[in-house]
Amino acid sequence: MKLIVGLGNPDGKYARTFHNVGFRAIEKFADEIDARFTKRMCDGVVAEGYFAGNKLLLLKPLTYMNLSGIAVRQIMQKFKISINDLYVFVDDIDLPLGKIRYRESGSAGTHNGLKSIVNELGDTNFKRIKIGIGRDEKFADLADFVLSRIPDDKLEIIDGEIEEACELLKKELIKK
């Protein structure tokens, strides 16, 4: 079984913020494989599905971004999922808007959700699909920017990135 995680904040007021791009990506991926988020477990909401012969468990942590690792660790322990079978959709301020990047491992950088996962798992060797949101210099504080609403003119670009990120994940799952 493979675990696919989308990082974000569960409160509706965050739905269209830059920091919820991971939630948007996993919801899009779930739609594409006909999986539905119907079960609450381990501090998250989960969906189950299949793709390319792989049984998939999809997770949206309900712990809020900065504690995402708690839900990830709980699910991995409950289902005995290996770190090698963990994939995370995440926003990235260090990538320009319109770009995505796949990493097999690496540091958490400035991302608190990734930091939480690394802290809870004690390991940086999990796969990340980073969705570029860039930076906006009018925000002095990064938290203010990532929690701001995505403007209409950038939403189409982000939706395109999410589509590309889902296709990238599918290609990776086919390889495994």
**Least confident window among 15-29, 32-46, 106-120, 148-162:** 106-120
> What mean pLDDT is predicted for residues 20-32?
96
Return mean pLDDT, the chain.
93
Which string of DSSP letters, residue by residue, matches 77-145? HHHT--GGGEEEEEEETTSPTT-EEEESS---TT-HHHHHHHHHHT---SEEEEEE----TT-SSHHHH
Name residue 4's amino acid. I
Contact 20, 9 (CB under 8 A): yes
List, in order, residues 6 or more apart from 160 with CB less than 8 Å away.
98
Considering only residues 144 and 123, tell me which one the structure prediction assigns the higher pLDDT: 123
User: 23 is written with which tokens?
Assistant: 């939630």
CA–CA gap between residue 130 and residue 88 (Å, rounded): 8
Choose the catalytic residue: 2, 19, 127, 128.
19
Measure the CA–CA gap between 12 and 176, rounded to whole angstroms. 35
Q: How many CB atoms lie within 10 A of CB 62?
A: 18
- pLDDT of 137 > 80? The answer is no
Rounded to an integer, the average pLDDT of 159-171 is 96
Q: How many residues does the chain have?
A: 176
Q: Find out whether 38 and 169 touch, Cβ atoms under 8 Å.
A: no
Kindly report, residue by residue over 49-96, the tens digit of the pLDDT.
999 999 999 999 999 999 999 999 999 999 999 999 999 999 999 999
pLDDT for the residue numbered 176? 65
| 111 in active site | no
